Amino acid sequence: MSTAATRAGGRRRGRTAPRRVPYVFLAPAVVMFVLFLLVPIGYTVYLSLRRVHISGLGLGRGARAEAFVGLANYRAVMHDGEFWHGALRVLGYGAMLVPAMLLLALLFALLLDVPRVRLARFARIAIFLPYAVPAVIASLVWGFLYLPSVGPGQYLLQKLGGSPVDLLSPTTIYFSLINIAIWGGVGFNMIVMYTALRAVPQEIYESARLDGASETQIALRIKVPMITPALIMTAVFSTIATLQVFSEPFALRPLTNSMSSTWTPLMKIYQDAFAHDDIYTAAAASVVLAAVTLVLSFGFLRLVQKRAFGQER
Amino acid sequence: MKIHTTAKLLAAALGVSLLAAGCSSSSPSSSSTANSNQKVELSFWTWVPNIDKVVALWNTAHPNIHVTASKQAQGDEEVTKVLTAAKAGNPPDLFQAEYQALPTLVSNDVAADIKKQTTAVKSHFADGVWQQVTLGTDAVYGLPQDSGPMMLYYRSDLFTRYGLAVPKTWDEFAALAKTVRQKAPKSYLTTFSSADPGWFAGLTEQAGSAWWSVNGSTWKVNVNDAATKKVADYWGNLVNTGVIDKQPMYTPAWNKALNDGTLLAWPSAVWGPGVLAGNAADTKGKWTMAPLPQWTAGENKTGNWGGSSTAIAAKSKHIDAAVQFATWLNTDPQATSGLVTQGGLYPADRDAQSGPALASPPEFFAQQTDFYQLAKQIADTAAGVTWGPNVNVTYATYKDAFGKVITSKGAFTSAVDTMQQATVDDMKKNGFTVATG
């Protein structure tokens, strides 16, 4: 080390106090967070408190004025039957989807974790791959498969003497949507659970085997309890994704008469903002939806926190 | 996902500011209009295919007014983008606007009144078309570009095979629909689509509907008027008795049905051949075009499905130059022939409708040599229409309301009542002065 270098180092330290350094490192993340999360949220809240007032025909200059209306937009959302019907539909959809998807993901993860399983790597990728397909594209492809006159399954059914099944009727649409969501979502959840399983120390299984436990017993009595945190995390993520389901129903909607364009809360928000040009009601509904999502996911976390993370405290 | 709406907004705002930066660097700082020794830069948003080739003709001939066309998504998405850009203070100087979107753009103070610059060209357009750019007021908010007079397309080969006659009235059309079910139980004469409000609006125009009208400073809203209910009831009976199909248009299943002859006819607009060529390629030369069936025998009326205009931004710094370009684009023979051959449009300009570019029929209809002569006759019979300031709400409600009555086999007239209710509610909520009935 030359004296020059030492001196340079000393000077640098003198200019920037060490306690500021962490903030410099944090700055990019904080700036991004503020710019792309806090500012848009703030703007949404601002918009949700405003409304346009038009006078007369609304043509010509000065006929349109924006004004603060307090919580009027929120009152409108609270009394909006279609929005809450959408929420009910989504609850029904989620009540069937989330358990089915997570159980299937858990089953796959446990099967892949069994010692001496064959084709594990291939199966893992095959199950995960649909997750890489964008939801809109997946929904379009599934939608085409569902249509009676173009779906190959429907074609085979008719060749075998059956009549085509309407997979897009007001009731079957739920299962058609759930099918798409499971197809696309199982892989991700399976990987999360599988990764958690691999992190479990092997000695535990060894001692269990010495005690005479079967693979099924190991799976149910040891593996599942050991990965509870991963199960909870996937449950929270799936719940949030379900409450905000949009792409799948939005892509299927043009193919059928049996679904409204306000079928889910987020579709209603989209409809208000981009079909009705009512960005203010849409903003208020977005805030309500975000709040409900937040309450539900934090509520669920609090409920299971003791059981799941108790031992880590 | 949580901030879907806001993310979209923000993205739009960012895009706009970038665009603004691009514009301000290239446009002259002075706010004066076209001046012989000053170069004017105009931006133009449009979705007409190959429009740049037409714009290039203008740019070579007019070195002082340079137009830059930028391609946009069709229809409502472009309207949303124009509204957002105008809100941010940087709208394009010119933009394509579907007729039914004009009132929304005007009520947002986005489209300029260009009445004084356009009095000379009014005679270029049919009255029904011109009415769509005046909104029934004294102002003029755009120059008509293309129109979509409705007509009937039918599979002439299958009509011959089953021994069917081309229906002249809607009564004959209904009877024919029943005959088709008997002669070809797997086929339908046509389908009623809950996905295409513009199609339904055109059919009601033919029957004489007037969904909006202006009375002094009051909007009269009549989406459920007698003519509309008559049309709704007519189609409702056909759908609910299973005489015609009820699947939406523009789906893979619909394409297949057109292609394999499951659907024998399509009430559509003059641009239909392009859609058939793209979606039912196997049926080339098998379709024939005829006038739409009439409500009263011997009448000659039709409605419009689609069509658009060129509007000028109220905030443009070069409104006169922009109108000059828009006038050229939509009335100059060289320009309109470019719109026809390059863009595939059916021009609103009446001279262009019988111009050399439309002398021969569309390729997909090569056997019907008088296609465009017949089309021009039909175009002249298109009913005028006044669009209201929230057609978007009415159209969005159409999709859900008709989807619902089709699924529940309900009365189609109740769907029309729902549309009226939603339209009036939305207008009142926003403060418009509204009268009904």
Of B2, B214, B432, the CB nearest to A244: B2
Cβ of A259 within 8 Å of Cβ of B194? The answer is no
pLDDT at B28: 39
Cβ of B248 within 8 Å of Cβ of A256? The answer is yes
Contacting residues of A for B13, CB less than 8 Å apart: none
Nearest CA in chain A to B81: A274
pLDDT band (50, 70, 90) for residue A307: low
Q: Which tens digit of pLDDT belongs to each residue from B65-80? A: 999 999 998 877 889 8
- What distance in Å separates the CA atoms of residue B207 and residue B191, rounded to the nearest whole number? 19
pLDDT at B373: 94
Q: Which amino acid is at A193?
A: M
pLDDT at B6: 44
Q: Which amino acid is at B227?
A: A
- Angstrom CA distances, B261 to B94, B174, B244, stand at 42, 19, 14
Substitution target from B2, B106, B412 for chain A, most A beta carbons within 10 A: B2
Q: Which tens digit of pLDDT belongs to each residue from B106-130? A: 988 899 999 999 999 999 998 889 9
pLDDT at A61 over 90: no
Q: Span A70-97, mean pLDDT?
A: 95
Cβ of B248 within 8 Å of Cβ of A260? The answer is no
Class of residue B3 by CB neighbours under 10 A (exposed 0-12, middle 13-18, buried 19+): middle
Say if CB B239 and CB B423 are below 8 A apart.
no
Q: Span B222-242, mean pLDDT?
A: 97
Nearest CA in chain B to A148: B253
pLDDT at A48: 96
Cβ of A270 within 8 Å of Cβ of B5? The answer is yes
Mark A92-130 as b/e (b = at least 16 C-beta within 10 Å): ebbebbbeebbebbbebbbebbeeeeeeeeeebeebbeb
Cβ of A37 within 8 Å of Cβ of B426? The answer is no
pLDDT at B33: 44
Q: Which tens digit of pLDDT belongs to each residue from A144-174? A: 999 988 888 888 888 888 888 889 999 999 9
Say if CB A127 and CB A189 are below 8 A apart.
no
Contacting residues of A for B253, CB less than 8 Å apart: 147-150, 255
pLDDT at A117: 82
In the block, tokens 């009595």 appear at: A221
Contacting residues of A for B426, CB less than 8 Å apart: 276, 278
Task: List all residues 6 or more positions away from A146 whose beta carbon is below 8 Å from its beta carbon.
Answer: A154, A167, A168, A176, A252, A255
Q: How many Å lie between the alpha carbon of B75 and the closest alpha carbon of chain A?
A: 11
- What distance in Å separates the CA atoms of residue A129 and residue B25, rounded to the nearest whole number? 47
Say if CB B150 and CB B303 are below 8 A apart.
yes
Q: How many Å lie between the alpha carbon of A51 and the closest alpha carbon of chain B?
A: 8
pLDDT band (50, 70, 90) for residue B336: very high
Percent of chain A with pLDDT over 70: 92
pLDDT at A308 over 70: no
Q: How many Å lie between the alpha carbon of B27 and the closest alpha carbon of chain A?
A: 26
- Report the length, in residues, of chain B: 437
Q: How many Å lie between the alpha carbon of A151 and the closest alpha carbon of chain B?
A: 9
pLDDT at B414: 97
In the block, tokens 């173009």 appear at: A150
Cβ of B83 within 8 Å of Cβ of A57? The answer is no
pLDDT at B351: 92
pLDDT at A16: 56
Q: Which tens digit of pLDDT belongs to each residue from A84-128? A: 999 999 999 999 999 999 999 999 999 999 888 888 889 999 999
pLDDT at A17: 64
Cβ of A244 within 8 Å of Cβ of B4? The answer is yes
ipTM over cut 0.90: no
Nearest CA in chain B to A245: B1
Of B83, B214, B248, the CB nearest to A57: B214
Substitution target from A33, A38, A45, A59 for chain B, most B beta carbons within 10 A: A59
pLDDT at B20 over 70: no
Q: How many Å lie between the alpha carbon of A274 and the closest alpha carbon of chain B?
A: 7
pLDDT at A274 over 70: yes
pLDDT at B411 over 50: yes
Contacting residues of A for B103, CB less than 8 Å apart: 59
- Angstrom CA distances, A105 to A39, B234, B400, B411, stand at 37, 52, 36, 46
Substitution target from A154, A258, A276, A277 for chain B, most B beta carbons within 10 A: A277
Q: How many Å lie between the alpha carbon of A264 and the closest alpha carbon of chain B?
A: 13
- Return mean pLDDT, chain B: 89
Cβ of A293 within 8 Å of Cβ of B214? The answer is no
Cβ of A276 within 8 Å of Cβ of B393? The answer is yes
Q: How many Å lie between the alpha carbon of B16 and the closest alpha carbon of chain A?
A: 16
Cβ of A43 within 8 Å of Cβ of B250? The answer is no
The sign of the torsion formed by the CA atoms of A88, A92, A97, A100 equals positive
Cβ of A273 within 8 Å of Cβ of B433? The answer is no
Q: Span B46-59, mean pLDDT?
A: 94
pLDDT at B9 over 60: no
Of A244, A257, A261, the CB nearest to B407: A257
The alpha helices in B286-411, defined as continuous H runs, are 319-331, 333-341, 350-353, 371-379, 391-408
Say if CB B16 and CB B88 are below 8 A apart.
yes
Element housing B211 (H / E): none
- What distance in Å separates the CA atoms of residue B151 and residue B289, rounded to the nearest whole number? 7
- What distance in Å separates the CA atoms of residue B422 and residue B428, rounded to the nearest whole number? 10
Cβ of A277 within 8 Å of Cβ of B10? The answer is no
pLDDT at B251 over 90: yes
* Max CA pair span of chain A: 92
pLDDT at B7 over 80: no
Contacting residues of A for B142, CB less than 8 Å apart: none
Nearest CA in chain B to A284: B5
pLDDT at B21 over 60: no
Q: Span B4-30, mean pLDDT?
A: 42
- What distance in Å separates the CA atoms of residue B280 and residue B262, rounded to the nearest whole number? 12
pLDDT at B369: 94
Instruction: Provide the whole-model pTM.
Output: 0.87
DSSP state of B308: E
Nearest in space to B106 (alpha carbons), one of B306, B389, B423: B389
Partners of residue B219 on adjacent β-strands: B214, B434
Q: Which tens digit of pLDDT belongs to each residue from B280-322? A: 999 999 999 999 999 999 999 999 998 999 999 999 999 999 9
Task: Pull the structure tokens for residue B315.
Answer: 């905030």
- What distance in Å separates the CA atoms of residue B86 and residue A230, rounded to the nearest whole number? 48
pLDDT at A282 over 80: yes
pLDDT band (50, 70, 90) for residue B138: confident
- Angstrom CA distances, B23 to B16, B17, B65, stand at 10, 10, 15
pLDDT at B15 over 50: no
Percent of chain A with pLDDT over 90: 68
Q: How many Å lie between the alpha carbon of A277 and the closest alpha carbon of chain B?
A: 8
Contacting residues of A for B257, CB less than 8 Å apart: 149
In the block, tokens 């295409």 appear at: B196
Q: How many Å lie between the alpha carbon of B39 and the closest alpha carbon of chain A?
A: 29
Q: Which residue has the higher pLDDT, B265 or A65?
A: B265
pLDDT band (50, 70, 90) for residue A15: low
